[in-house]
Chains A and B, each alone.
Chain A
Amino acid sequence: MTRPRLDLAAIDRDGAVREAADATSTRAALLGGALAAIGALALPSVAAAAPAPRDRSVLTYALSLEYLQDAFYTEAERLGALQGKVADAARVLGQTERAHVKAFRALLGSSAPARPRFDFHGTTEDELAFLHTAVALEDLCVGAYAGQATRIRSPEILQAAVDIHSVEARHAAWLRRLLDVRPTEGSLDEPRGRRSVIGTIAARGFVVDASDAPTTHRRASPLFTG
C-alpha cells in the first residue's frame, strides 16, 4: 500500500504551518525545507474515528519527531561506535523514544503514518557528532512539544504530550552534560512552531524517504550523501 504524499496545502488545512510563532527572517528559506520535509511524511490515508482532526494533526507531527529520534538512537546503538556513558545514554534514549513512538502510533491507530527512512550522515557513529546532533534534536523536541501544547484539544492527549515533553527536556540536559555544556539555556524554554522545527530538520537532510517500505529496510551503515 502506498499512501499519498503530503503537500503544504494538505497539511496546513488547520493552519498549523501558519503559526504566528514561526515568524522569522529566514521564513522563505525554511519554507523550502519545510516543503521537502513535509513531502517526506506520509499522509494518513484514512481518517481515524478519533482523535479529532486537529489533535490527529498534532499527533502525526509528534510521531514524526519521535520516529526521527527513535531511528537516530537505535542506529547509534546498532552501529556500536559509541562507548561508555555516551553509549549508555544512547541505549536508554533509544528505549524511551521507541516507547514514545509506540504510544503515538497507538493513539493514532490506523491513521498513523508509516515510519520514514532516515539518513543521519554519519552522526550516529562519531561521539562528538552524535552528541551535537542529539542535543540539537532534544532541544528541538522540547520546543516542538511546547509549541503544540496550546493546540491540543483532548485533555488525555495533552496529558500524554506533557508527560513526554518534560522527559525530552531531561534528555536534553543529560546529553548537554555529556557534551560538557550547560544543561539549561535560560530560565524559560521557548516554544517552537511547526515550520521552524520541520525546517531545521529538513536542513539536516535526515528524512530521505517516507515510503511504506518495511521498517527493516535499513542500510548496514549510514550513507554520506551530505
Chain B
Amino acid sequence: MLRALTRKKFLLSAGGAVSAAAAGGAAIGGLGAMASARTAPSRGQDLRVLGFLLGVERIELAFYERAVRAGALRGELAEFAAAALIHERDHVAALEAALGSAPAAPAPLFEVGDALTDHDAFVAKAIALEDAGVAALNGQITNLTPERLGTGCAIVSVDARHAAWIRDIGGMAPADGATDAPLAAADVRALLQRQGFLA
C-alpha cells in the first residue's frame, strides 16, 4: 500500500515526462498522445486516456492475431492465444465505443523475433505484454471520470487474468506482490519499445 501510494506520488510528479513524450507526436506506433499533465478527470482527458489505452490494447490484439495466424502454437499456448485474441478484440471494441469516434487504427509495427512461432519466446513476450497492459491500465484508470473508468476496470482484470495465466504456464508466480504497480504512459511506451512492440 505504501508502495502504491508512493508510486502515485511518483506518477503525479512524472507529469512532465508524460508531457514530453506526448509532445513527440500524436500517435507513436499507435499509442495516442497522453494528457500533458495529471489533472482532475474531465471529458477531454477521458478522450486522451482512452486513446492511449486503445493503442495499448491494439498492440495486444495485433500480437495475438499474428501469433494465431502463424499457427505454430500448440496445446495450452494455442488455447491461451485464441482466448486472448477474442478478449483483446472485445477490449479494443469497448474502448472504441467509449471513445465514440476512434482514430483510425495504425498497423502496430513491432519486431518480436521468433515470439510468434517459438513457444518459450511467445510466453516471454506475452508475459511482458500482459503485465505492461495491466500496469498501463492501472496507471490511467484514476485519470478517468467515473462515467468512463468502469470500462478500464472491466478490461484490466481480464488482462490481469491473462497475465496470471501465461505467467503460470511460464513457471512464474501468477501474482507478483500484493499490488500491481501502475506505470505512467511514457514508461509504458518505453517498456513496449524495449520489448519490440513499438518502433
Q: Which of A's residues lie within 8 Å of B, judged by CB?
A: 92, 95-96, 99-100, 102-104, 106-107, 142, 145-146, 149-151, 155-156, 158-160, 162-174, 177, 182-184, 186-191
Contact = CB atoms under 8 A, between A and B. Distances in A.
Interface of B: 1-2, 4-5, 7-8, 83, 86-87, 89-91, 94, 134, 137-138, 141-142, 146, 149-150, 153-165, 168, 173-175, 177-182
A165 B153 contact: yes
Contacts, number: 153
Given A160-B5, A167-B179, A174 B83 contact: no
A165 B157 contact: yes
A189 B174 contact: no
Contacts of A190: 154
Nearest to B76: A177
B5 A159 contact: yes
A187 B158 contact: yes
Contacts of A184: 83, 87, 158, 161-162, 165
B142 A99 contact: no
Contact of A160 (B1, B162, B175): B1
Interface centre among A167, A177, A190 (most CB of B within 10 A): A167
Nearest to B154: A188
A95 B38 CA distance: 33
A165 B179 CA distance: 8
The 10 closest A-B pairs by CB, nearest first: A103-B1, A187-B90, A169-B157, A173-B164, A169-B160, A163-B179, A173-B161, A170-B164, A170-B175, A99-B178
Contacts of A100: 1, 178
Contact of A171 (B134, B162, B175, B181): B175
Contact of A167 (B137, B160, B162): B160
Nearest to A143: B157
A163 B168 contact: no
A170 B160 contact: yes
A52 B138 CA distance: 23
